[in-house]
Amino acid sequence: MRYYVLTLFPEMVEQGLKTSILGRAQSQGLISLKAVNIRDFSENKHGHVDDYPYGGGAGMVMQPGPVYRACEAVEAEIGHGARVIYMTPQGRVFDQNMAKELAKEEELIFLCGHYEGIDERVLEQKVTDCVSIGDYVLTGGELPAMVMIDCISRLVPGVLNNDQSAEIESFHDNLLEYPQYTRPEEFMGMRVPEVLLSGHHANIERWRREESIRRTLERRPDLLPDAHLTDREREYLDGLQKG
Ligand code: ADE
């Protein structure tokens, strides 16, 4: 997967994605990231990329020219069409299913706005997808693009080790993760659930599924209608709901 991020703050994106799992994935060549500074495509002698909004109003608007040229440069480098994702609170809300879809692409171009947004004309010309990371407003599109890159990258084969990959499946089931414990066996008088010490794999698996179901019911009941449950698990859920 090759990511291109069009931004006024390339260091923010590069620095934020170079540690831990994504840093390693970049060194291994499983993903690559190029942060392109939109300011480099300004034709203004001061390097300005924004101006006052026509019609008046607060704030500044990013001009279409630099964004257009930055996008053209990246598209020329890629050599074929690629999705251009504009980060905006007005977009479709990002979720795991969208991440799965986007992970199939070879390249993704993220466009990050600042100030009061970007001139609509370049958005009409270049953007294929408008995406929001949630119903709240941030100061720019960089953090949202980084959130998406993190989430999509863990679905790229090899980025997580095989052990971790299995964990992805649990979200496909629309269930929240079960609680985890490690040593010591007792902490401030609280013991690790006995079943986890038993070595009985079938019982552990069953306990974990039940904890996932209980947790999802308590914290995210909206996920349950699309959860994949066995008949026995459905009975367990019915029991909790009646209880
Ligand atoms: N830019 C500002 N807020 C945003 C959000 N919630 N999602 C995507 N882009 C944004």
- pLDDT score for 115: 81
pTM here is: 0.95
Q: Are 141 and 110 in contact (CB under 8 A)?
A: yes
- pLDDT score for 243: 86
Give the model confidence (pLDDT) of 203-233 as tens digits: 999 999 999 999 999 999 999 999 999 999 9
Index of the ligand 1 atom closest to the CA of residue 135: 6
95: pLDDT confidence band, cut at 50, 70 and 90?
A: very high
Structure tokens that stand for 180 in this block: 């985890």
Whether the CB of 10 sits within 6 Å of ligand 1: no
H helices then E strands: how many in the chain?
Answer: 9, 9
Q: Are 30 and 42 in contact (CB under 8 A)?
A: no
If we measure between CA atoms, which residue out of 184, 187, 209, 212 comes closest to residue 197?
Answer: 184
Whether the CB of 139 sits within 6 Å of ligand 1: no
Whether the CB of 94 sits within 6 Å of ligand 1: no
Residue 120: is it exposed, middle or buried by C-beta count within 10 angstroms (0-12/13-18/19+)?
A: exposed
28: pLDDT confidence band, cut at 50, 70 and 90?
A: very high
Least confident of 136-150, 171-185, 193-207: 171-185
- pLDDT score for 173: 80
Residue 27: is it exposed, middle or buried by C-beta count within 10 angstroms (0-12/13-18/19+)?
A: exposed
- pLDDT score for 169: 57
Residue 106: is it exposed, middle or buried by C-beta count within 10 angstroms (0-12/13-18/19+)?
A: exposed
User: Above 60 in pLDDT, residue 166?
Assistant: no
Q: Are 231 and 237 in contact (CB under 8 A)?
A: no
Q: How far apart are CA 206 and CA 227, in angstroms?
A: 16
Which residue out of 86, 88, 118, 151 has the highest number of ligand 1 atoms within 8 Å of its CB and is therefore the one to mutate? Answer: 88
- Please report, for residues 62, 78, 114, 115, 117, the alpha-carbon distance to residue 59 in angstroms, rounded to integers and kept in the order given: 10, 34, 10, 6, 9
